[in-house]
Amino acid sequence: MKTINEFYQLKDAEEYFEFFDVNYDSKLVNVKRFHILREYGNLIKKGFENFKDENQLFDFLKFSLLRVYGDFKNGYAPSAADVWKMYDNGKLQGCMSCTPTPGNSCGC
């Protein structure tokens, strides 16, 4: 059985798909990995602390991954303005390999 601590150790986009046993197009993930991880991180941060039960949390995390991946698979592409908002004085905001923990963000 997978644990939330194992989830916290995931870093690469492919690891998230494999963790949740989700089939994915490796070419799409290779091209859109930055955007997929960014959108996934934004989505799970919004609802992460609403789940006390680990099974419900895992369902939420998997559903969120499926939703973000589905958006990109169906042609979603962030606008140039959205991409530039990720930068602050030439540096990327936040951290793509971080996963929020209950009550704590990555602090990047």
Structure confidence by residue, pLDDT tens digits, 11-53 = 999 999 999 999 999 999 998 998 899 889 988 887 777 877 8
More confident of the two residues 9 and 94 = 9
DSSP string over 41-87: HHHHHHHGGG--SHHHHHHHHHHHHHHHHHHHHTT----HHHHHHTE
pTM of the model: 0.70
Q: Which amino acid is at 16?
A: Y
Mean pLDDT of 57-75: 89
CB 13 within 8 A of CB 36: yes
| pLDDT for position 95 | 47
The DSSP code for 50 is G
